[in-house]
């Protein structure tokens, strides 16, 4: 029997809050994006379903932390927006980019599908990473290393692209790497998607991915160091095993009233991982408790009704957390599940 999981890690502690207190502390965020993030969001295709953002100056680390228990939650979660560039070809770009400073990284994705057997859900998407100007030479060298290692090159939207074929379990993936600007690297999983990103970078963007009118923006802290947002799409749900709108949802129960999902984490200000599940289902709180609260996995987040249509999930990170399971769940809700 298939089960879903995902990438890196986190969790601990359940307390049922007084609903009056919860309502008073309900989220009051807006749709205004940070200056460094906004142009990258505009580069994404308008029919985007998921976006993951890491912002604030971060050093691209030279080696992967190989401690037995894995890297701390912060080290794992901040790589979600640029995981492919980090791990690509056993560290091909990581070696060249060692010590370079990342200003912002954004991953946009859509059209999540079931793998042929086990492994990561195939999807269309692109990771956009903008580096500090001082890293221009390192970014150039990283892209040249990709061109040298690639079996073939293509020209897409007037840009030279290194094309790789990669096999994950039983699925064949195409990975495309481009350097459209001296300080920007793109890593995409679909040609048409990459072409659209490149065209939008050149000024063809007339509309924005995940528009300001979406209710999710009110409930996600876009000032946090890492945050993500997903707006479920009914027209794509039938083929998407990670969507609660499908009859079989690998991440949890079917929920025809589901609207979206958000998360954020800012370790320098708070040690809590905050998640919000937007749904008009009367059983939404119960569904979230059934999925996220697990004594067996030492997962005990706070789960309550923040306001009508919004379930609050809050987790205080700690030494006893099953961070791997928790982060796998976050990624599954964002569409990046893994069948194991």
Query: Does some domain include residue 212?
Result: no
CA dist., res. 259 & res. 234, Å (int): 9
CA dist., res. 14 & res. 314, Å (int): 9
Query: What does the pLDDT read at residue 322?
Result: 63
DSSP letter for 80, please: G
DSSP letter for 103, please: E
- Are 167 and 286 in a shared domain? no
Query: Does some domain include residue 33?
Result: no
Query: What does the pLDDT read at residue 160?
Result: 97
Average pLDDT, the chain: 84
Specify the higher pLDDT residue, 178 or 249. 178
CA dist., res. 337 & res. 149, Å (int): 29
Domain count, the chain: 2
Q: How many CB atoms lie within 10 A of CB 33?
A: 20
For residue 320, pLDDT over 80 is answered with: no
Give residue 297's domain range: 4-27+217-339
- Are 117 and 246 in a shared domain? no
Domain finish residue from 139, 173, 204? 204
Domain finish residue from 175, 204, 233? 204
What average pLDDT does this structure show over 46-62?
Answer: 86
Question: In this predicted structure, which of 7-21, 190-204, 314-328 has the lowest mean pLDDT?
Answer: 7-21
For residue 270, pLDDT over 70 is answered with: yes
Question: Angle, to 10 degrees, between the axis of helix 83-97 and the axis of helix 136-149?
Answer: 110
Tokens of 203: 């000024």
Question: In this predicted structure, which of 180-194, 281-295, 321-335 has the lowest mean pLDDT?
Answer: 321-335
């Amino acid at each position: 029997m298939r089960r879903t999981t995902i990438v890196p890690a986190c969790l601990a502690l359940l307390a049922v809050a007084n609903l009056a207190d919860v309502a008073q502390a309900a989220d009051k965020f807006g749709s205004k994006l940070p200056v460094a993030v906004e142009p990258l969001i505009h580069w994404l295709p308008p029919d985007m379903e998921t976006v993951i953002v890491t912002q604030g100056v971060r050093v691209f680390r030279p080696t992967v932390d190989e401690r037995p228990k894995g890297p701390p939650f912060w080290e794992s979660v901040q790589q979600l927006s640029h995981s492919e560039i980090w791990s690509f070809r056993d560290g091909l770009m990581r070696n060249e980019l060692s010590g370079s400073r990342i200003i912002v990284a954004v991953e946009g994705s859509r059209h999540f599908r079931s793998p042929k057997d086990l492994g990561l859900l195939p999807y269309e998407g692109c990771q956009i990473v903008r580096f500090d100007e001082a890293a221009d030479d390192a970014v150039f060298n990283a892209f040249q290393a990709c061109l040298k290692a690639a079996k073939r090159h293509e020209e897409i939207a007037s840009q030279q692209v290194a094309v790789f074929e990669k096999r994950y379990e039983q699925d064949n993936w195409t990975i495309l790497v481009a350097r459209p600007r001296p300080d920007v690297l793109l890593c995409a999983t679909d040609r048409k998607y990459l072409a659209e990103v490149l065209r939008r970078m050149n000024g063809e963007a007339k509309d924005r991915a995940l528009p300001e009118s979406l209710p999710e923006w009110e409930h996600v802290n876009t000032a946090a160091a890492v945050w993500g947002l997903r707006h479920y799409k009914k027209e794509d749900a039938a083929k998407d095993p990670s969507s609660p709108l499908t009859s079989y949802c690998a991440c949890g129960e079917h929920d025809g009233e589901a609207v979206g999902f958000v998360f954020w984490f800012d370790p320098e200000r708070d040690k809590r991982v905050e998640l919000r599940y937007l749904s008009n289902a009367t059983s939404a709180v119960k569904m979230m408790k059934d999925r996220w609260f697990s004594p067996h996995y030492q997962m005990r987040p706070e789960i309550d009704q923040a306001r009508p249509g919004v379930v609050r999930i809050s987790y205080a990170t700690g030494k006893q957390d099953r961070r791997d399971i928790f982060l796998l769940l976050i990624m599954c809700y964002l569409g990046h599940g893994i069948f194991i």
